Structure 1
Amino acid sequence: MPTGLDLEEGKEGGSWLGINKRGKLAALTNYLEGRPNPDAQGRGFLVSNFLTDHSQDSYSYLKRVSSERHLYNGFNLLTAEFKAKEDTMCYYGNRGNTEPIHLNPAGIYGLSNSLLETPWRKLLHGKRLFTSVVNQPLPCEVLVQDLLNVLNNEELNTPDPAQESQGEGYSSPMLRVLSSVCVRSPHYGTSPTNWLSHLSCCACHQRTNTIILIDSSGNVTFTERTMLNCDISQWSTSSFQFKLKD
């Protein structure tokens, strides 16, 4: 179940976040860099290809992707497999180390438009908000709403020399806009914050918010909130539930 399709001309298809009934999950963020290659391959297929691949586990898939790192503009890719006996979570960023890494599936990690856990101010702020929510024993409906509130936090986190250094070539006003967890700009498609923990995965898009909750019994709640008519005051929310296959 992907949460969106890449509609960029010439690179249609793919997604930035998805999960299937076999417990495979993938999430993608772009890497902030000044001069992306317009002829590079579309990154969205890195998500959809993993979800439809029946032969490779999380690490093996990222290992293959790492051998083709030069074909893409900067990206971060998280892959996970949620199973009854053991969960697996891995990460690879093609602007960092050449090898993927295994993550502790019981941990909480912050990922923006830099490498995993790069301490941008917005990342640290969002991670604090996220952690305060998931550390509470909340009913599912309340948990989803509180996580949606995190995704829609528009507080600016400036100045941030680390983000500004990586974003050399961007205007100061644009970097200021990009300093919030949820980016609201007519010229920007996605908010650069994805969060993963053993309980939930959240991704924020200017027009779409997605919450994925997975409990210890393999029950999945997939909630998506979509902006209507490009109007920030109009949203449609849908939710699906399914159980992971053994």
Structure 2
Amino acid sequence: MKYIFFLLALILTSSVVFAQQGNTNVTGVIINGSNDEPLEGVNIVNINQVTGSTTNSKGEFEIVAKANDTLHLSYLGFKSIKVKVTNDWIKFGSSTIALTELALALEEVVVNQFRLTGYLEVDIAQVPINTNYQYSISGLQYGYEAGKGTGVNKILSSIFNPADFLYNTFGKKAQEMKKLKQMKQNDEIRDLLSSRFDREMLTVLLQVDRVDLDEIVRQCNYSKDFINTATDLQILDAISGCYEEYKVLSRGRK
């Protein structure tokens, strides 16, 4: 009898531990730290699981996570933070998280002056010509601009260059680059990235800084105009395509 009781206790304990270690849905409320008002539209990304969510009008959110996962919270005009998912959070339910407002400063705006003559042919000649090429991205209804070269030819010059920037970058970040496919397949992540231009989520998920992220895209032979104007989703698709080409070339190189 004692043996059976001990066995049942062991099974129950194991079940509790397994439940704590496995994925579950954690909930929370995000508020403005200065006035305790709920914040709607805050972006929440689970860096470990590569899943995303946003807060509703009451500041509430729900996201798949497990203990020790890290959630990245970002909202326009507020300081982004990282929050660790704890066993207590999972056990006791919703948690309230406060974000701190940033002091917003207007950047200097430079307006290029054109001396318009009233003659169409003369005035058009003053407008800079964009020499980029148009490419399409799966899942989008419109194209984007990129530099010359498509397919494997885009990175041949980089992969066989002595500096080997792409090889060193992708080769050393294999785990982070595996998240590319997860990011592309997650509808929440794609929706979040499609309306963002700050590269913050990409740098967090791929564990690179903004300078390195721009350099990766540039080495993949995308234009400066594309890098400056593309949405985060377009940058994601550009890096993802380049990474797939890199894998093909790196196998041949080995």
Q: TM-score range by the shorter chain?
A: under 0.3
Per residue, is there more helix in 1 or in 2?
Answer: 2
TM-score by length of 1: 0.27
TM-score by length of 2: 0.26
Instruction: Please tell me whether Structure 1 or Structure 2 has the larger radius of gyration of its CA atoms.
Output: 2
